[in-house]
Amino acid sequence: MAQPISGFAPKVQVSSDGLEATMTFKIPDGKNEVPKFTAAQLLGFLNGANVTFGIDQDMLVKLADSPVFGRPIKVAEGNPQQQGTPGYFEYHFDTNFNRKPTIRPDGTADYMSIKTIETVQEGDVIATYHPAVQGSRGMSVRGQILEPKPVRDLPPLIGRGFDRSSDNLTYTAKITGKIEVNQGKINVSPVHEVQGDVGIETGNIKFNGDVIVHGGVHDGAVIDAAGNVIIHGLIEDCDIHAGKDLFLLSGVKGNEKTIIDCKGCITAQFIEYAIITCEGNITADYFFKSKISCDGRIELNGNNASIIGGYVSAVQGIEVNDIGNSFGTITNVAVGVDVERAAEYEILAKKIVAITANVQKIKKGIEEFDRLGAERGVNYKEDPRRMQLLRVRIRDEAVVLEETKKLNRMKEVINSGKGATIKVFRRLYAGCNISIDDHHVAINENHEQIEIEKSDEGVKLVKFS
């Protein structure tokens, strides 16, 4: 056998992850005799490169018999570590809702496509926990132990309205109602469900939770719910109060007798002849001759996407296709914070200051009673005059606390209205009155594709393409 010649020893390379070693034989130059290596010698080259694990002995024999020149050949393979699986919850209910209508091919908005809430029945399995599975060690071709990344279990779910199995793996609804999950907390809350219409036959509804009406609401009926309200049918001649979000999937024909108050957001197919106040955003197809006040943002969708007649205000801004119509219907639209709201904020702030000052005086009066009692050795705690001062202090402190919450909410709303604009994607018709904060302008001619914003000079109309 030919002896090895210096410079012809194969090159051993180990991959960056340590899981593979290759051997590359130098291409002969034709000038020198090509050395032949035994399998044992090749093994020695591997050991010299600290490759000791997962060596393919059969491949070394093949290479000794028939070396492959100029390209790397895998001669050792390690065992990769097996990564574990962290613990996770499998929810047996829908956790993602489409809160906006889908737009049909013809451009109309499909409000029935909106998913509002998820409900479960008593006894339903609502979640299953899959515990963490730890991974297994591996070994590199250099004999190094490869540790898998550690994985952790999750803490049990917390919330209300469900039972948990003793092994913390299975979660079952205790009641029939609405279910929602937020940051690992599940709540199953009661839902009042009406299969038909709400009217004279059913009477008014007052419920400390969510209300679902599969029909309409009419005949002067009142719905007063602490949670969400979902109404599938038409709204006519009624009062609705929603403590959270309100979904009016077939729209509102108010006949100037419908009053709606919503503490969350409103989604409606359309709104006609209604009086509405909303603390969140409003999404709808169109407004017609309604009085609408919104602390959030108004977005009108679909081909109609119009405001015609009435008075519509949104603190954070409005997006719409058309405002007004070709008949010159008077339409009033406002964004930002008007003078009345700003004045209301100042009045409330002064009221809180005055009541707080009075509370301080009352505290001093009570302290004076206690000081005199200590000097005279008399207990004035049951004195009617001191008791009256104490009652007034407790009452006024509660008023200050409540009014301060209201003031902070007003401040948030006012700040959110800074820079509010009205974006009109098709046409702003003559006959409209536009207000931004304390600036007003009457529109005397039609404008197309404009954004209405506030400037130092007043209300400015900026055309966009």
pLDDT of residue 379: 80
pLDDT of residue 116: 66
- What b/e string do you get for 113-126 counting C-beta neighbours within 10 Å, with b at 16 or more? ebebbbbbeeebeb
- What b/e string do you get for 269-287 counting C-beta neighbours within 10 Å, with b at 16 or more? bbbbbbbbebbbbbbbbbb
Q: Give the whole-angstrom CA distance, residue 180 versus residue 339.
A: 40
Q: How confident is the model at residue 100 (pLDDT cuts 50, 70, 90)?
A: confident
Q: How confident is the model at residue 113 (pLDDT cuts 50, 70, 90)?
A: low
Give the tens place of pLDDT for each residue, 36-81.
Answer: 899 999 999 999 999 999 999 999 999 999 989 989 999 999 999 9
Residue 114 pLDDT exceeds 80: no
Q: Are 217 and 236 in contact (CB under 8 A)?
A: yes
**Whose structure tokens read 């050395």?**
35
Residue 458 pLDDT exceeds 90: no
Per DSSP, the three-state class of 449 is strand
Give the tens place of pLDDT for each residue, 122-169.
Answer: 999 999 999 999 999 999 999 999 999 999 999 999 999 999 999 999
Q: Are 39 and 61 in contact (CB under 8 A)?
A: yes
Give the tens place of pLDDT for each residue, 167-213.
Answer: 999 999 998 888 888 777 898 988 888 889 998 888 888 888 889 99
Better-scored residue on pLDDT, 334 or 2 = 334
Residue 2 pLDDT exceeds 60: no
pLDDT average, residue stretch 292-305: 93
Predicted TM-score (pTM) of the model is 0.66
- 20-24, 194-198, 265-269: which range is least confident on average? 194-198
| Beta-bridge mates of residue 330 | none
Better-scored residue on pLDDT, 118 or 169 = 169
pLDDT of residue 452: 94
pLDDT of residue 3: 45
pLDDT of residue 1: 39
DSSP 325: -
pLDDT of residue 382: 81
Q: Calculate what percentage of the chain has a pLDDT beyond 70.
A: 97
Residue 99 pLDDT exceeds 70: no
Residue 427 pLDDT exceeds 60: yes
pLDDT of residue 118: 82
- 315-319, 326-330, 333-337, 340-344: which range is least confident on average? 340-344
Better-scored residue on pLDDT, 395 or 457 = 395
- What b/e string do you get for 10-24 counting C-beta neighbours within 10 Å, with b at 16 or more? bebebeeebbbbbbe
Give the tens place of pLDDT for each residue, 367-389.
Answer: 888 888 888 887 877 888 888 98
- The residues near 331 (Cβ < 8 Å, ≥ 6 apart) are 307, 308, 309, 310, 312, 323, 324, 325, 429, 431, 432, 433
Per DSSP, the three-state class of 326 is coil
pLDDT of residue 243: 96
pLDDT of residue 206: 87
Give the tens place of pLDDT for each residue, 349-371.
Answer: 999 999 999 999 999 988 888 88
Q: Give the whole-angstrom CA distance, residue 242 versus residue 115.
A: 18
Q: How far apart are the first and last CA of the chain?
A: 84
pLDDT average, residue stretch 415-433: 94
